[in-house]
């Protein structure tokens, strides 16, 4: 598991990931190229003893794909004195769409009109206030899964009847958002250490443009507005490393949709023809954090 033998005075880095994909392999390669000692830690085999200390790492890069496991791993590592990137707070805020929305609103980052209702019936009232067409989204989730397009009240009643029958109480909460009439694309910007590394347009079928679901990417110019909103959004949720998703309305107005704490960047980097070494920037940032 250990990629490089540790030399005196060097920082030891853990990369937490239960699934090793293209992004993680790029990170391992970047660590190897710099001769940085690291250990890939499969979180499915990870356990913690209560109390401080006892762990061999200075810094942990949290690439765990499961939100609950990622959040608890970050909390346990931080309690043991390990510097975790992203932080516990950033992981928990980004993993909850409502907490992300409220953090963005508090930082005056423009977002679509959004509401949270505590029951299915209240969700219908919230939708009337937001206006149709609208979207209903799960509070926790990625890749656009379980996002439903609600063109009118009849469709909303059908979806909410289904949600009301689900056993989990979180499923009964209604996170609803206005549907932005976008020009067939959205924007993904990658932020590392308060710097925007670049941006890409993403296009796909229907509502979802996620690269993991077959979305296509092409370069997007980082305008001053994209730069500012992306940096402000990452700062609002406290994320050192972030994938910021933005959307344009038909008038060209930019809005921030969400912030991803476990950013997937292979499609992003491919679209930029390897002009940006995302993994290299992440490793450089980890080394800076280790020296603080």
pLDDT value of position 53: 76
pLDDT value of position 275: 77
pLDDT digits (tens, 9 = 90+) for 189-245: 999 999 999 999 999 765 555 554 456 899 999 999 999 999 999 999 999 999 999
Q: Please provide residue 103's backbone torsions phi and psi, each rounded to the nearest 5 degrees.
A: -65, -40
Rounded to the nearest integer, the mean pLDDT of the chain is 90
pLDDT at 5 over 80: no
| Model pTM score | 0.89
Map out the domains of the chain with their CATH numbers: 13-85 (3.40.50.20), 113-178 (3.30.1490.20), 186-283 (3.30.470.20)
Residue with token string 């499969």: 42
Averaged pLDDT for residues 99-109: 98
Question: Which of these ranges, 46-60, 107-121, 207-221, 227-241, has the smallest mean pLDDT?
Answer: 207-221
pLDDT digits (tens, 9 = 90+) for 172-182: 899 999 999 98
- Residue 81: pLDDT band (50, 70, 90) is very high
Question: Which distant-in-sequence residues (6+ apart) come within 8 Å of 284 by Cβ?
Answer: 193
Asked whether the beta carbons of 227 and 196 are under 8 A apart, the reply is: yes
Report the percent of the chain where pLDDT is more than 70.
91
Asked whether the beta carbons of 143 and 212 are under 8 A apart, the reply is: yes
Q: Cα(215)–Cα(244) distance, rounded to whole angstroms?
A: 16
Averaged pLDDT for residues 41-69: 92
pLDDT value of position 211: 52
The C-alpha R_g of the chain, in whole angstroms, comes to 20
Averaged pLDDT for residues 130-142: 91
């Amino acid at each position: 598991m250990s990629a490089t033998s540790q030399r005196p005075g060097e920082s030891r880095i853990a990369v937490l990931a239960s699934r090793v994909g293209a992004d993680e392999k790029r990170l391992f390669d970047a660590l190897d190229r710099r001769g940085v000692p690291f250990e890939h830690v499969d979180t499915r085999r990870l356990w913690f003893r209560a109390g401080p200390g006892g762990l061999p790492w200075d810094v942990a890069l949290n690439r765990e794909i499961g939100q609950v496991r990622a959040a608890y791993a970050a909390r346990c590592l931080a309690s043991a004195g390990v510097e975790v990137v992203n932080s516990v707070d950033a992981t928990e805020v980004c993993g909850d769409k409502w907490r992300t929305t409220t953090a963005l609103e508090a930082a005056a980052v423009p977002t679509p009109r959004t509401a949270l209702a505590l029951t299915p019936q209240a969700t219908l009232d919230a939708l009337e206030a937001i206006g149709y067409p609208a979207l209903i989204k799960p509070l926790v989730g990625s890749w656009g899964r379980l996002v439903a397009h609600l063109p009118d009240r009849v469709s909303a009643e059908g979806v909410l009847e289904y949600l009301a029958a689900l056993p989990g109480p979180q499923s009964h909460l209604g996170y609803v958002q206005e549907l932005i009439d976008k020009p067939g694309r959205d924007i993904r910007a990658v932020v590392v250490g308060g710097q925007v590394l670049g941006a890409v347009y993403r296009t796909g079928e229907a509502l979802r443009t996620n690269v993991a679901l077959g979305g296509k990417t092409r370069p997007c110019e980082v305008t001053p507005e994209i730069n500012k909103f992306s940096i402000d959004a990452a700062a609002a949720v406290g994320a050192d490393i972030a994938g910021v998703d933005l959307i344009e309305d038909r008038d060209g107005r930019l809005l921030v949709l969400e912030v991803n704490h476990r950013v997937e960047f292979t499609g992003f980097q491919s679209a930029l023809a390897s002009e940006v070494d995302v993994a290299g920037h992440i490793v450089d940032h980890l080394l800076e954090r280790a020296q603080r």
